[in-house]
């Protein structure tokens, strides 16, 4: 992908010298060790090489992107496969958001999500239609009991599309921890994404580490220095030279506090 890592966030750590006192920072509770992520369990949800239009945890308006957006050659209708054995646990139909979406629970404690689908496989589609008529509603969000739609890994469950809040045909794919519903980075699970392009940095954001500290950006062109604070970061352009990246028009960054 050409445009990943925009913007890259640079946190300035402004705690210097005597400020490192342990008493200042309450000790954080130890995190429970995380179970290893299974890297051979899930297959690709599509049968075409995976090219991404969107990454996990990208910044979106008001939230982080909770999955990956897989390109589908600018058209709908690609077969979408169950990433592993499991069962349909939730079906969502909405004119906005995920459009037509399927949630599949897997016995290993993860849930896969497939969104913006053009249509569901036949038995699911018939079930959805029946529910829509029964409830007099196009929009649905329903839990499905475990025994209703069991799935085998690689089974066609739906077709890719452009439904809901989608600006072009693609498959939005997520892997969540079933119990907490926390989305995880699908690429950590060994989903084979084709990407031969190195990330490029276009700009960085400078924040102060806390409300008491700050940073002053001193420009090399003589223009007025700008103060970066905890709430108001300063965006600095980055240029790529022969020896690597350098900040555009910046003479110095002075840390305060
Ligand atoms: Zn998406």
Looking up tokens 């497939």 gives: 114
- Asked if residue 1 is part of any domain, the answer here is no
Q: 211 and 229 in one domain?
A: yes
Q: How far is the CA of 51 from the centre of ligand 1 (A)?
A: 13
pLDDT confidence bin for 195, thresholds 50/70/90: confident
177-183-185-187 Cα dihedral, nearest 10 degrees: 70
Strands 63-64, 68-71: pairing is: unpaired
**Number of domains observed in the structure of the chain:** 2
In a domain, 216, yes or no: yes
Q: Which domain holds residue 72?
A: 52-189
Strands 244-247 and 234-241 come out as antiparallel
Distance, CA 37 to ligand 1 centroid (Å)?
22
Q: Which helix (H) or strand (E) holds 90?
A: strand 86-93
How many A from CA of 54 to the centre of ligand 1? 7
Task: Tell me, yes or no, whether 175 and 213 share the same domain.
Answer: no
- Mean pLDDT, rounded, for 122-128: 97
Residue positions counted in the chain? 257
Q: How far is the CA of 16 from the centre of ligand 1 (A)?
A: 40
Same domain for 184 and 218, yes or no, is no
Among residues 189, 218, 240, which one ends one of the domains?
189
Mean pLDDT of the chain, nearest integer: 88
250 pairs with which residues across the strands? 219
CA atoms within 13 A on the CB side of 33: 2
The verdict on residue 112 lying in a domain is yes
| Residue 38 within a domain | no
Q: Cα–Cα distance between 202 and 219 in angstroms, integer?
A: 18
- Tell me the average pLDDT across 110-126: 98
Partners of residue 218 on adjacent β-strands: 252
59 plus 171 within the same structural domain? yes
Q: Which pLDDT score is estimated for 169? A: 97
Q: What is the CATH number of the domain that holds 76?
A: 2.70.70.10
CA of 67 to the centre of ligand 1 (A): 6
Domain annotation covers residue 29: no
Centre of ligand 1 to C-alpha 23, Å, is 42
Boundary of a domain, candidates 150, 167, 189: 189
How far apart CA 62 and CA 77 sit, in angstroms, is: 30
State whether 65 and 155 are in the same domain: yes
Range with the poorest average pLDDT among 8-12, 103-107, 167-171, 180-184: 8-12
- Tell how far the Cα of 184 is from the centroid of ligand 1, in angstroms: 13
Same domain, yes or no, for 160 and 206? Answer: no
Sign for the pseudo-dihedral over CA of 153, 155, 159, 164: negative
Is 245 part of a structural domain of the chain? yes
Angle, vertex CA 39, rays to CA 34 and CA 44, nearest 5: 130
Contact 209, 255 (CB under 8 A): no
pLDDT tens digits, residue range 84-98?
999 999 999 999 999
| Same domain, yes or no: 118 and 216 | no
């Amino acid at each position: 992908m050409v445009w990943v890592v925009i913007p890259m966030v640079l946190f300035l750590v402004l705690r210097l010298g005597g400020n490192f006192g342990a008493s200042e920072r309450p000790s954080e509770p130890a995190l429970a060790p995380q179970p290893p992520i299974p890297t051979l369990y899930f297959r690709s949800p599509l049968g075409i090489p995976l090219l991404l239009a969107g990454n996990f945890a990208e910044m979106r308006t008001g939230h982080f992107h909770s999955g990956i957006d897989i390109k589908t050659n600018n058209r709908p209708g690609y077969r979408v496969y169950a990433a592993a054995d499991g069962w349909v646990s939730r079906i969502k139909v909405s004119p906005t958001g995920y459009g037509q979406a399927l949630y599949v629970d897997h016995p290993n404690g993860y849930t896969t999500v497939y969104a913006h689908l053009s249509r569901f496989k036949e038995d699911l589609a018939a079930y959805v239609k029946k529910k829509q008529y029964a409830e007099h509603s196009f929009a649905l969000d329903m839990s499905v009991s475990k025994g209703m739609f069991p799935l085998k890994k690689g089974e066609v469950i739906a077709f890719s599309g452009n439904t809901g809040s989608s600006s072009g045909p693609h498959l939005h794919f997520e892997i969540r921890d079933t119990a907490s519903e926390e989305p995880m980075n699908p690429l950590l699970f060994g989903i084979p994404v084709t990407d031969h392009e190195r990330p490029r940095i276009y700009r960085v954001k400078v924040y102060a580490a806390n409300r008491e500290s700050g940073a002053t950006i001193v420009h090399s062109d003589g223009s007025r220095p700008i103060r970066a604070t905890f709430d108001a970061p300063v965006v600095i352009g980055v240029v790529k030279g022969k020896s690597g990246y350098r900040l555009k028009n910046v003479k110095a960054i002075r840390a305060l506090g």
